[in-house]
Amino acid sequence: MVVKLYGAPLSTCTRRVATILHELQIPFELIFVDVRSGNNKTEAYKKNQPFGMIPYIDDNGFILFESRAIGRYLAAMYPRHDLIPNDAKKNALFEQAAAVEQANFDPSAAKAGWHLYARRLGWGGNQAEIDESLHILEQRLEGYELMLGKTQYLGGNELTLADLFHLPYAAIIAEDSVVFERFPNISRWVKSLTNRPSWLAYENGVVSTASY
């Protein structure tokens, strides 16, 4: 049975998982969860995702939520261990990069990304929230620029899951704002991520993928 991905085609976190599935060449079935109708808030749904959010996966009865945890599980279960290096030092640098994403990128980037995306889709999007979160993000990007001046990717010279975790908010911010433009190393890095086939595959929305 293929991995079942419960989510929505245009959901950012669903696309993060789909991109990782694609990187790992794991076939999957997208099971649409209609969040606009509140299908993610039912008692039945919360048995699998207690916070009533998307996405989660069902891998032959193994249920897992949180997009980054799903990515780590998939990389551990299926071949292609370079996405989470085994070597102790490379692994430590991967963990450092993953922690950097959670501490220095996601809090402001997710907020900015969400409002920019809502604006793009015509669902609103609050300009004050965009401005404030991009201002905070820009300060954190100084550190990113220094890190990416030393290595190709955030955890070293090879792509790891930590880089992929930055998608999709990095892609939305790159398209709908100018905040990365004064950082040449960040611009190069974001471009290298958004040009990956795994990211481009779902640019019109996540779809079930039976083969690669």
Ligand X SMILES: N[C@@H](CCC(=O)N[C@@H](CS)C(=O)NCC(=O)O)C(=O)O
Euclidean distance between CA atoms 6 and 138, whole angstroms: 33
State in angstroms the smallest separation of the CB of 146 from ligand X: 27
Does position 154 interact with ligand X (CB under 6 A)? The reply is no
Does position 201 interact with ligand X (CB under 6 A)? The reply is no
Task: List, as own/partner pairs, every contact residues 202-207 make where C-beta atoms lie below 8 angstroms and the sequence separation is at least 24, other chains included.
Answer: 202/9, 202/15, 202/18, 202/19, 202/22, 205/9, 205/10, 206/5, 206/7, 206/8, 206/9, 206/10, 206/11, 206/14, 206/15, 206/18, 206/30, 207/9, 207/30
According to CB under 6 A, which one of 3, 5, 6, 12 is a site residue for ligand X? 12
Q: Among the candidate windows 46-54, 118-126, 139-147, 155-163, which touches ligand X by CB under 6 A?
A: 46-54
Nearer to ligand X, 77 or 146 (CB): 77
Whose structure tokens read 């404030």?
A: 132
Read off φ and ψ for residue 185, nearest 5 degrees.
-70, -40
Whose structure tokens read 């471009």?
A: 191
Does position 19 interact with ligand X (CB under 6 A)? The reply is no
Count of chain residues binding ligand X (CB under 6 A): 11
Does position 40 interact with ligand X (CB under 6 A)? The reply is yes
Euclidean distance between CA atoms 192 and 81, whole angstroms: 20
According to CB under 6 A, which one of 53, 109, 164, 179 is a site residue for ligand X? 53
Nearer to ligand X, 153 or 169 (CB): 169
State in angstroms the smallest separation of the CB of 145 from ligand X: 25
* Contact flags string 63-82 toward ligand X, x per CB under 6 A: ---xxx--------------
Nearer to ligand X, 43 or 79 (CB): 43
**How does 120-138 read in b/e, with b if 16+ C-beta sit within 10 Å?**
eeeeebeeeebeebbeebb
Q: Among the candidate windows 5-13, 83-91, 143-151, 185-193, which touches ligand X by CB under 6 A?
A: 5-13
Nearer to ligand X, 51 or 212 (CB): 51
Gyration radius of the chain over CA positions:
17
- Interacting residues toward ligand X by CB under 6 A: 11-13, 35, 40, 52-54, 66-68
